[in-house]
Amino acid sequence: MRRSAHLAPVLLALVTGAAALGCTSSGASVATPPATSAPAGTTATTEPTATTKPTTTTAPDDEDDTTTTKKKGTTTTASGSDDLPGVNADGEITDARVIREFLFNTVEQWGEQGLDPEQLAEGLNATFPSLDLSGYQVDSTPTRISTFSGSVQEKGENGPDNPYVVVFTVMQVDGTCLGGIIYGYPTATQRIELEADAGDRCAAMPLYEARVEGQQLP
């Protein structure tokens, strides 16, 4: 009995220490990184974090959309941008083809989630921290990509004759503007690559109106 009494404080200390370690371990959770798509030339393997079906925007009216889409709580810095393809050390786009290919790959490989501008913005910002998506009426800049997500036809249900479409414009530091259109049903997989003419606005809405709205896409 004296031996048991002697061990009791030791056992109590061990149990207390283990409990303390357990509390520390459970309290220090590891943050789950946002979903990303692989840069141009590679394939995306990470699925987006959201599981709900995306809500695509309908064809807009005459009101301007000045919204910049970015995941809540993120910051846009140029840290590490010199190691990323298509952007310089200041995080500005130097090769719009790389960013366009990245967006094409993300939309296509994420399926329904790739039609959601918020998911697309999350994937872009996670891989290219200095870049954001903006609304369809906002002109693109070397750090901001104008984006529209909706349907080919302004009215009517989506289907093979009225597929989903994502339109975006990407501007380089030298002023070159490239356009991208990706469409399809039930997900967007068909790509159209465009280069804006000199003097044209580098924004998704003018591109949508000129090349998509009410038209039969190839």
Does the structure show a pLDDT above 80 at 28?
no
Question: For the segment 43-86, what is each residue's pLDDT rounded down to a tens digit?
Answer: 443 455 443 344 444 444 444 454 444 443 333 334 444 578 99
Nearest to 73 by CA among 110, 4, 114, 121: 121
Of 32-36, 120-124, 147-151, least confident by mean pLDDT is 32-36
Looking at residue 199, what is its pLDDT? 55
Looking at residue 196, what is its pLDDT? 67
Residue predicted with more confidence, 94 or 43? 94
DSSP character at residue 175: S
Nearest to 124 by CA among 101, 152, 150, 151: 101
d(CA 5, CA 35): 56
Looking at residue 44, what is its pLDDT? 46
What share of the chain has pLDDT > 90, as a percent? 50
Mean pLDDT of the chain: 72
Distances in Å between the Cα of 77 and the Cα atoms of 74, 97, 132, 203 are 10, 21, 11, 23
Contact between 207 and 195 (Cβ < 8 Å):
no
Looking at residue 216, what is its pLDDT? 75
Q: Which range has the top average pLDDT, 48-52, 102-106, 152-156?
A: 102-106
pTM over the 0.85 mark: no
Contact between 178 and 170 (Cβ < 8 Å):
yes
Residue with tokens 């709900």: 52
